Structure 1
Amino acid sequence: MLHLTDIQLQDNKVFLSMLNHVLSVDGFYFSTTYDLTHTLQRLANTSPEFQEMSLLERADPRFVWNGHLLREFIAQPEIHRFATPVMHGFITMHSCCINGKCFDWLLVSRRSCFRAGVRYYVRGIDSEGHAANFVETEQIVHYKGSKASFVQTRGSIPFFWSQRPNLKYKPKPQISKSVNHMDGFQRHFDSQIISYGKQIIVNLVNQKGSEKPLEQTFAKMVNSMGNGMVKYVAFDFHKECSRMRWDRLQILVDQLSEQQDELLGK
């Protein structure tokens, strides 16, 4: 450190402080033997060539939070084993027994590094169709050598809108009037269909008050898109479940059950 100038020493302190801050943040995960960036469903439907790739080469870029640091290593296969993708999210694993049947239960949530941000400051989508604060959550059950995976995703309503903080407790959402919403909206769901196939959108926002335009616009755009791979269900959570009436969630469960059966052709 003696060879550093005063300015360089100060810069070094700043960089060390930033590094320590990042390392102290909860929710970063990595594995040198298992591909954390892909769901079990995707891994079960890959080619032998894919399986032979290094974790760096085959990682889903949406969930690689150190991707910027690793990008220069892609062209150097000899050091891929030292370049480990880091995921941000949540992982928990439990051994459970129900009615004498014992199994392993895992929950993995992967947070996208595209358009991440804090509540209110980051809403809607960007021009590439990336929804703000997108998270892919996978539930895995492992029983007697068999594995089952159920995947859900969540994200901000995928068109261009904002909700900038002000002195109000809940700022009013503002839908942009100067952009082509359908372009980004279409990009978002094209990507969703490629990654997840048929899906059901569940919209839980209020269907009255300041959130009403969001629900109306979302429903209208899904209808305009006219894609049979996507179904839309709106459920006014605060209205239906007000006063702690959580039992009314069964209404939503029944709706989703019907939609799932329809999607699966039952």
Structure 2
Amino acid sequence: MTFNRTIASARAKEHATGKSLLVSRRTILGLPLLAAPALLTGCTAETLLSAGFNQDTASQPPGSQQAVGTVAAALGNGNVVVAASPAGEANDQWVLIQHPSFNDVTSIQGRFSAFRGDGQYMATARLFIPGADGGVPTLQFEGFNQPLSDLNSFLHLDFLTNGTVRVNDDSSLIFGTYQRGQVFSVQVTFNISASAATATITLLGAASGSLDVAIPSYFLNQARNFGAVRAWMGANSTGAFYVDDLSVIFVIP
């Protein structure tokens, strides 16, 4: 059983329990996109994280409690605030992550509502990285109940200034293209078991490319403890970028 790999965003705000068989149709930049559960046959999908910021107060940090799951921000010397859509989308708010110095880490971490362990997951996020001062943002995948101060991950994606994506700091795992100054989506489908974990990374919207990755065996235990998604910028870069619609869906066996 697999997810349809043409999906860009999964957001299920109508289910406070986080359980949903069908996630609503969404339009991004005029393109209608369906979330994974709408295309699963004979499967039950549970939303573990659905973080959007339209109900939060502009120019303030995002609220901890989200539609499903929670978020937390680590400011370091930077700032994490709710802001109007960088693409001018009406009635749409994002989180702006500003990291002005090479010290510390500025991040937002989305935390699952529950732990589910081995199985199949689909994680999605929308990003907007300005052309002039976007720096090198990172999107990474972490363990359940992982502290904000702990930056360990079993998979992370760096969005390089040349418009490509690097996986786990590995120069042999650079793929795809994305457009700075435009909205694009990242979708990562995980298959996690006691013996192995894999990820299919897909770029959509103002981006393209897909890569299948085997999670290194030394990260397997952390992958089996999957429970958080973080967008951040650290000591190797400065700049600002936007993130919205952090979502993770689990297929109930």
Structure number with greater CO (CA < 8 Å, separation at least 6) is: 2
**Larger % of strand: which?**
2
**Larger % of helix: which?**
1
Q: Which has the larger radius of gyration?
A: 1
